[in-house]
Amino acid sequence: MELTQTQAQAWLASFATTILDHKAELNELDTAIGDGDHGTNMTRGVTQIQTVLQTSLPDLSTLLKQVAFAFISKVGGASGPLYGTAFLDMSNAAKQQSAELADLIQTGAAGIQRRGQAQVGDKTMLDVWQPVAQALAANQLTSQKIDTYLQATRDLVAKKGRASYLEERSRGHLDPGAQSSDYLFQTLLTVI
């Protein structure tokens, strides 16, 4: 299925609201295995995205690029560059190839993997993005599956980011980036 600009705007507006509603929860998750500011950082990013959504943009590619810049310029830590890379790569794909949703998300996942030098199983947001891309390609994405991908990060030992310093003690906690990615894709489902 092709992602339209109208759908993308609705999706990102819903995502922004969801992040704002769960700022404290994201900070709490990050306090356990990070530096406790994922919710605060993501709030800065989605506030900028809300501003972007109030402007007139010519096409989907431009929208995704402006979202990427919002993440890169406003979100600290690893999340800004990772989300930013994902959306910038999705913008380029939408401009050069197609706006096929599964392809866009796969492109975003590949960007996260490249930028973060992570693999599935490293307890990162990639543990949600990659299986979501695969489920979308198979036309089998459901809310329950997204939650399953998120919950699977709980039993992993972090191999990337600040959580990796905790080694075995990172097990038993959800990855904050995976949680915000869960919100990203749960809100996507409400639009498509």
Arithmetic mean of pLDDT, 88-100: 92
Number of domains present in the structure of the chain: 1
| CATH of residue 146 | 1.25.40.340
Mean pLDDT, rounded, for 147-151: 98
The answer to whether 162 and 30 have CB atoms below 8 angstroms apart is: no
Residue 97 has pLDDT above 80, yes or no: no
User: Is the pLDDT assigned to residue 12 strictly greater than 80?
Assistant: yes
Question: What's the domain range around 109?
Answer: 5-191
Cα–Cα distance for residue pair 108/89, rounded to 1 Å = 6
* pLDDT at position 165: 82
| Three-class secondary structure of residue 2 per DSSP | strand
- What pLDDT digit, counting tens, does each position of 53-86 carry? 999 999 999 999 999 999 999 998 899 999 999 9
Residue range 32-39: average pLDDT? 94
Phi, psi of 2 (to 5 degrees): -90, 135
